[in-house]
Structure 1
Amino acid sequence: MQRWVVLGIGGVIALAFAAVLATTGVRALERADVPACTGAARLDLPCHVRRYDVLARTQGPRVALAELKAARDGDGYVRTACHQLAHVVGRAAGEQRALADAFADGPADGGSLCSGGYFHGVVESAMARLGADPIRDRAREVCAPLRDTAPRAPLHYYCAHGTGHGFMALYASDVHAALAGCDLLEPWEAGHCAGGVFMENLTAVHNPQRPSRFVRPDDPLYPCAEVAARYRTECYDKQTSYAMYLADDDVTTVFAECVALPDTPGADRTACVRGLGGKIAILANKFVTGRDAVAVATRSMCLLGPDAATRTDCVIGSVTAHVRDHSGVAEAEALCAALRADPGPLAAVCDVAVRDAVATWGLLAAQPVQPAHPH
């Protein structure tokens, strides 16, 4: 039975997923070639990968994404792999269209479907077309259409994050080489590029073509302590997924691992606990149905933090993940409501965290996203 590493709100990814992508061939296909993935095949990951790749290539990304949304809403297995299945659709679209055109063909909700996986896949394809050597001189061109038309808005964020995935693919899952690629971008993009690097570091664990060299079962939070301080927050935000995986989703174990970090000016401990808070929100979304029930489950896990500071940072991390990755202001506010049942300051902390997250990521939640078009 597959274990899952939690990576994005509304979806998780099997460590075997990269191997599936590496062995799933692509060819010219007709409608009859679209696998149904029903019956026993409903739990067959390669079948779903092929299904959404074929749909995207033969009927277009909007059809593929509409079918993915319908399947996600009714099928728990598809929901767990939704983010990476959206990557599949994005890669196919990015191979057939210019980046701005492929972004314009994206989901109508502007990216909250499967945490923006479609846009990440588009960027991966755009960067693959450029190649490892030319990208060094042309890295800032990748997100230029979004930087010009929607700076720091949702599509720009998804593009910047996607560049991290793209650099990892180009540089054979070498985290340090990929981060050097991120350094070629302007600072805001570079930070979110790093998030894509660290996410891809986990998805590449079992990729037979370019397995990750930067995970250590005996050091779950590696390589965060050795990367540049400006990238540590993004590292811990993603690496807590691997720590949870190794701990069989025992949040108390990962709380302890975070608390054991030095409380340095780089704020490693805070970044780690907030990253864990995001994973807790994801776990609740994965296993619990209903907004209020998800909020109660998230609250219960954050309250397992060993002290007031960790519980505070857990709540902040949960709120940030909801708003940033899932346009989930209502979900974040439900968490605040659940916390009002407890004495102490956590409900107020949650309210402030929601306001801060909306101020930072509000376009993701509050405004319809207009697709970027070529100049």
Structure 2
Amino acid sequence: MVRSPESTGRVGRFVLALVMAALGLALLAGPASAHTSLVASSPASGERLAYSPDEIVLTFATAVDPRTVTAELRSADGEVVAVEPLSGETGDTTVVAFAVPRLPHAVYGLAWQSVGDDGHRVLGEVLFGVGTEVGGTTSVAGGATPMARALDSAGLALRIAWYVVLALLAGVAVVGRAGVAGDVARRRIGGLLLLGAVVALGRGGVALAILLEAGAGDLAWTSRGTVGFAAVGVLLGLLAVAASRRTAGPEARSTPTPALVGLLVAVIGGTLAGHALSREDPVLAVTFGILHLGAAAAWTGPLLVVLLVARTPAWRGLDAEERTAQLRASLRRMVPVAGWSLAVVGATGLLLAARAWSGIQGGVLAVLVVKALVVLAVAVPLGIWHHRTREGWVDVPRTARVEALGLVVALVLGAVLVGWDPGWSQGTGGLDPAVAAVLDGTADDPTLCMDLEVGRAACYRSTLSTVLATQGPQAAIDAAVAAQAVDSYVAENCHQVVHDIGNDAAEQIDDMADALAVDGSACWSGYFHGFIEARLAEIDDDALSDRLPTFCDGAADPQYSFTHYNCLHGLGHGLMLRVDADLFEALPLCRDLEEFWLVRSCASGAFMENVMAAQQGLQTPGVPTDDLRYPCTDVDADLSEDCWMMQTSMIIWRLGGDLPGAFEWCDSVDGLDRTACYRSMGRDISSIAALDPDGVIQRCSMGSADAAHWCIDGAASNAVYETSARESADALCAAVQEDWTAACEVSRDQALSTVALG
């Protein structure tokens, strides 16, 4: 039958409309979240930390939607530790961070997964040790859940079925006008399109289920994989209905056009709903993905269709001469398509492999090699042989079945590789150069960290560590103090930032006297505390008791100096970490120092660490929840004042910032404990008010009138210790009421003398 020009035009417009609809619906799902790889983490995999991290930061090669990145933290003994995602930028980002509670000494593994919006899952694990080496531990992760594994298996099965359907559609489109083979194939178009619709809807459903299982929430329902494959499934279903109507009834007429349209919709729509839009260069990735998949289907499908038709009664009913004629009619259509398809598959396959080469390793490489061997050693030689000998065929030769089997195996292996997704231009090449420099450990400019929504702790750790290594500890401390003045994050976390510098200095500087011979008093001497904490972690448990009495001798020149105190205070922090934050195990170790000034200095660090540990979810066993005076009411009487000098940070935190309520707890104790509590409130209020005199006075006035001046005294001391200078304390003492001025100035001068002593 000769088709009229009007009919041809209608078909062309119909094809164009369906293809454009597939494109549009697949793109309606919104921006693509990349399939990615982990290029860096803080802590790094295999790293030994002297202390528990506040957060774990993952940096990916390409941007991901943070809603689709989940993590589970486990210790080596299998205990699951709860982590919380930190809020960051809206939209895609390369940096995702998780808040971590205080971790006891052990080896830990953070099992992370990133789910692309087409439902593709990428997994990994970061191993690190707190106070211990990772050693021979290779994994502590629990792995994917049974449901996740089942969904991944279903996704692979549906992807294989999808490729086979595409191949069969291509086969019908190519041989659909070739005599008996075409007649048989055309009668199957409706069922084949319906099968394609079911598989497409299944792939969309699996993508939805994977995203829901990963906790993606509403994103799962609007993701590209869910919406894109649903759209393709609906279009193929409509085509199936139309094709079935054309082949039904006494005046049935059919053409292979619906198969061609279905192939275009499936290849283009399926590519857009899959990985390609996740790439750094999506236009190129989509183009080559469509060409590669379409060519593979066009090479495999016609041969499969001919082999299947050869098993039907209609074919077997032909005599030998008619079979030969029918076979040659099919081959005349198949051979040019196979030749061009082979060329396209080869060219695009080489490009895709080259672009993904940096992500290819292990099992991925093995499957890729097997696939290449099957194609090059089986399919290509047999294809060439069949091309040369086709004129002598009287029936489909058995070697054609071997070629078809090789092509199907290649399709299956391709489906496996797509599931693993080794990547497309992976690595740090797509990252901002400044971010890449931070990841490489070469950046020495902390101002790079200011604009980061998440991961600033890791960024400051990296850049300041580089400054430490290249310019020394004083330069690193000065850089942190400079950042404190311009970045609210550093202002709020200054002690921890310089604490990290101290941790790193313990690894880079061997001589304790050299490491402590700096002005490290800024940010409540966090540098000294971090250095001592890390150095203490290097001592074995068996040798600890013998080493404690002389541990700070290198910092005791002059004795009882601020540096000497900071060494002992840091020792208290470190001892708390050694005993997993059990205060009543740490304090007896401080007692081993014998001289009471040494004991008190060590205990002050233990008391501060007790507060910090509680704020991070780890605290002394048996802590009562209704008595905020604990543990100060249970420690030895000679250390209760030192305990109260730290306890208000705990009280304010537990009361959610209720300062009047905190003062009431101070008023519930007597004598020196009450004085210490008010002075401790002054220290905390000074930090809360950012050293602003009016803010300090207004908040200290919330306490009892007869004790508020002690709060001012504590604030004046803190102003000196926080800045290592007198200006902020001078401003405070000048602003207070006249009868408080003298006491304020005494506290200021005592703090200045301590700092000046070194």
Q: Which of 582, 589, 613 is matched with 1:204 structurally?
A: 613
1:229 aligned to which of 634, 637, 659: 637
1:90 lines up with 2:497 in the alignment: no
Q: What is the aligned partner in structure 2 of residue 311 from structure 1?
A: 708
Q: Which residue of 2 aligns with 1:72?
A: 484
1:71 and 1:362 mapped to 2: Cα distance? 23
Instruction: Describe the shift of the 1:328–1:305 C-alpha distance in structure 2 as closer, same or farther (beyond 3 A).
Output: farther
With a CA cutoff of 8 Å and minimum separation of 6, indicate the structure with the bigger relative contact order: 1
Cα deviations by residue, 1:72-127 (Å, 9 ceiling, x for unpaired): 121111111111111111011112323212113x4xxx223222111111111221
Partner of 2:514: 101
What TM-score does the superposition give when structure 1 sets the normalisation length?
0.77
Task: Assess, with a 3 A threshold, how the Cα gap between structure 1 residues 305 and 143 changes in structure 2: closer, same or farther.
Answer: same
Alpha-carbon distance in 1 for matches of 2:686, 2:752: 19
Q: Give 4+ residue runs of structure 1 displaced > 6 Å after superposition.
A: 21-24
- Structure 2 equivalent of residue 358 of structure 1: 749
Q: What corresponds to 1:344 in structure 2?
A: none
| Superimposed CA distance per residue, residues 1-25 of structure 1 (whole angstroms, 9 cap, x where no aligned partner) | 98xxxxxxxxxxxx95756x98895
Distance 1:222 1:330, change over 3 A: same
Secondary structure of 1:130 counterpart: coil
Equivalent residues of 1:30, 1:58 under 8 A apart: no
The alignment partner of 2:689 has SS state of: helix
Partner residue, 1:333? 730
Q: Are 2:700 and 1:295 aligned?
A: no
The residue number in structure 2 matching 1:40 is: 452
Flag the 1:49–1:207 CA change in 2: closer, same or farther, 3 A: farther
Structure 2 residue aligned with 1:348? 739
Change in CA separation of 1:233 and 1:326 when aligned onto 2, cut-off 3 Å: farther
Seen in structure 2, the aligned counterparts of structure 1 residues 216 and 241 have a Cα distance that, compared at 3 Å, is: farther
Task: Tell me which of 694, 697, 719 is aligned to 1:322.
Answer: 719
How many residues matched? 330
Provide closer, same or farther for how the CA distance between residues 39 and 129 of structure 1 changes in structure 2, counting only shifts above 3 A: same
After superposition, residues 131-210 of structure 1 pair within 5 angstroms as 131-147=540-556, 149-185=557-593, 186-205=595-614
Amino acid in structure 2 at the alignment position of 1:93: A
- Candidates 255, 270, 294, aligned match of 2:675: 270
Bigger Rg, structure 1 or 2: 2
In the alignment, is the contact (CA less than 8 A) between 1:320 and 1:354 conserved in 2? no
Q: Distance in 2 between matches of 1:303 and 1:174?
A: 35
- Counterpart of 1:219, as a letter, is D
Moved more, 55-64 or 329-338: 55-64
Cα 1:44–1:327, aligned 2, differ >3 Å: closer, same or farther?
closer
Give the whole-Å Cα distance in 2 for the aligned partners of 1:257 and 1:304.
13
Give how far 1:328 is off. Answer: 4.7
Question: What is the CA–CA distance in structure 2 between the aligned matches of 1:167 and 1:251, rounded to whole Å?
Answer: 31
State the AA in 2 paired with 1:302: C
Structure 2 letter corresponding to 1:100: A
Partner Cα distance (2:547, 2:473) in 1: 26
Which deviates more, 229-238 or 131-140?
A: 131-140
**Displacement of 1:155 after TM fit?**
1.0
Kindly state the Cα deviation for residue 219 of structure 1 after the two structures are TM-superposed: 2.5
Cα distance between partner residues in 2 of 1:66 and 1:329: 17
Distance 1:275 1:63 in 2: 30
Aligned-residue RMSD, C-alpha:
3.2
Change (3 A) 1:229 1:329: farther
Q: 1:324: Cα distance to partner?
A: 4.4
Aligned-residue identity in percent = 31
CA-CA distance at 1:128 after TM superposition: 1.4
Q: Deviations over 1:142-190 (max 9, x none)?
A: 211222x221222112112111111112222111111111112221121
Instruction: Tell me if structure 2 keeps the 8 A contact 1:123–1:142.
Output: no
**How does the TM-score come out when normalised to structure 2?**
0.40
CA contact (8 A) 2:443 2:462 kept: no
Judge conservation of contact 1:31–1:58 (CA < 8 Å) in 2: no
Q: 1:61 — aligned with what? A: 473
Structure 1 counterpart of 2:726, which letter?
A: V
Aligned to 2:689: 284
Matched residue, 2:27: none
In structure 1, runs of 5+ residues without a counterpart are 3-14, 286-290, 341-346, 370-375
Given that residues 666 and 674 in structure 2 are in contact (C-alpha distance below 8 angstroms), is that contact kept between their aligned partners in structure 1? Answer: yes
Alpha-carbon distance, 1:357 to partner: 5.0
In the alignment, structure 2 segments of 5+ residues that lack a partner are 1-84, 87-98, 111-125, 135-438
3-state SS, counterpart of residue 681 of structure 2: helix
SS in 2 for 1:152: coil
| Aligned partner (choices 536, 545, 550) of residue 127 of structure 1 | 536
Alignment partners' CA distance in 2, 1:349 and 1:157: 28
Q: 2:733 is matched by which residue type in structure 1?
A: C
Contact in 1 for aligned 2:468/2:475 (Cα 8 Å): yes
CA shift, 1:353, in A, is: 4.0
Q: Does the CA-based 8 Å contact 1:319-1:350 persist in structure 2?
A: no
For residue 135 of structure 1, report the CA deviation from its aligned partner: 2.1
| Structure 1 SS opposite 2:656 | coil
The alpha-carbon deviation at position 71 of structure 1 amounts to 1.5
Report the CA distance shift for 1:122/1:220 in structure 2 as closer, same or farther (over 3 A): same
Take 2:452 and 2:554, find their aligned partners in 1: how far apart are those partners?
43
Partners of 2:533 and 2:743 lie apart in 1 by 35
Alignment check: 8 A CA contact 1:93 1:122 kept: yes
Name the CA distance, whole Å, in 1 between partners of 2:743 and 2:490: 34
